[in-house]
Amino acid sequence: MTETTETGERPRGARLIQNEATTEIPVHLLFRDDPDPVAVPLRPAVVGTGAVKGGPGRTTAPRRMPPRAPARPAPTVDPDLQERGGRALPGALGVLGGLAGAVGAVASLGWAGALPQIVTEIAGLSRYEGTGFGPEQWAAAAGSGALALFGFGGLARGRAGRAWVLTLFGRYRGTVRKSGLLWVNPLLLRRRTDVRLRHWRSEPMPAVDANGVALRVVVLVVWRIKDTARAAFGVEDHETYLRECVEADMARVLSQLPADAFHEDAPTLRNAEAVGDLLTRKLAADAEPVGIEVFSAQPTRIEYAPEVAAAMQRRRIAALDAQHRDSVLTSVVDSVEDTVTRLTTRGLVELDDYERKALVKDLTVAFYTGRGE
């Protein structure tokens, strides 16, 4: 038996629209004429190709977003490789030690009687014949000579903005950032490093924007060496490493935005401040592990590559012309609307539909011609 409602009417079943290439669609979702629509369970979507050919329909699998690429690992260096102060004494001590060694060496030769005759005459020792070279004389001469070489050989001139990176048999022994006359252990190998604030202006480098348009970019980078140990031993050549990072990071940043948005108000590469901030952050993160501190990386020039410059210039001019026409048309329409509204609201004229359309047409032509001139 069929059930009836309280009003005595039979409930209407759900009306369905079926298509062999689509799923079943309840009619009440298209036309809200049923007071109480009946819920209809929907079957999975069926591909129509199989139904037409008589084969079983294939249930479409839900789309899945492509997996995100893993984050790019940051470059790392030996965590124990960090700058620390090297030992350096005032240069006066080295001078005194060298002079003492030289005087001792001369005295040892005089003791052995090996000084030249002119020296003995000046010193008043011409009658002294010496004792000859014995073990004591050899030891005194060798020790004095070593002291002289050690004292004078360790003298170094420290400059402001420069640092000495010290190594002993390939092992890092510290960094000296002092200036003036210094004495450093002469057994240590000294490597001079520039720690001043420096800048590098690149040559025009190739890149592409988000639309794949070829570009030429010039970048100005302001940087300095913050950790001399990592800059000297963490990478083969820190300047070459920095330049390669600039080119790679610039390509990544510029590929995220278009060079120009011709027909829409969207962020572009013309916003040099935002592009420079993003490039600076990426470059600083890549250069920090090798002891380089990046203060600024700003694109000083972004232009189209010569092979596409003419075509993009024509496209830009066309976009500017279209924007100008659109703004003029909007202004004309607003002026016409304001004029007709004032005439009718103040009761100056009474217009029917035909007269209103004719007036709008004439005013639009007049205003647009005037704006165009």
Task: Report, as an integer, the average pLDDT of 93-118.
Answer: 78
For residues 136-141, give the mean pLDDT.
Answer: 81
Q: Is the pLDDT of residue 328 over 60?
A: yes
**Residue 319, pLDDT score:** 64
Statement: the pTM of the whole predicted model exceeds 0.75 = no
pLDDT grade for 315, boundaries at 50, 70 and 90: low
Out of 77-91, 128-142, 158-172, least confident range:
128-142
Percent of the chain with pLDDT over 90: 35
Cβ-contact 284, 294 below 8 angstroms: yes
Position 162 confidence tier, pLDDT thresholds 50, 70, 90: very high
Averaged pLDDT of the chain: 76
Give yes or no for residue 75 having a pLDDT over 80. no
pLDDT bracket for residue 296 (50, 70, 90): very high
Spatial contact of 242 and 229, defined as CB atoms under 8 Å apart: no
Alpha helices, DSSP H, located in the chain: 27-30, 48-52, 91-112, 117-123, 135-153, 228-233, 238-254, 272-287, 306-345, 353-372
Rg of the chain on CA atoms, in Å: 44
Q: What is the mean pLDDT of residues 41-66?
A: 43
Whether the predicted pLDDT of 42 surpasses 60: no
Give me the pLDDT at residue 131, please: 64
Which residues, other chains included, contact 340 with Cβ-Cβ below 8 Å and sequence gap of 6+?
356, 359, 360, 363
CB 105 within 8 A of CB 144: yes
pLDDT at 18: 46
Total Cβ atoms within 10 A of residue 350: 8
pLDDT at 341: 81
pLDDT, position 118? 53
How does pLDDT run across 246-269, given as a tens digit for each residue?
999 999 999 888 887 766 667 888
Query: Which has the higher per-residue pLDDT, 6 or 278?
Result: 278
Percent of the chain with pLDDT over 70: 68
Q: pLDDT at position 114, please?
A: 64
What's the mean pLDDT in 199-213? 89
Confidence at 282, pLDDT banded by 50, 70, 90? very high
pLDDT on residue 37: 47
* Angstrom distances, CA of residue 95 to CA of 155, 159, 178, 305: 8, 19, 18, 62
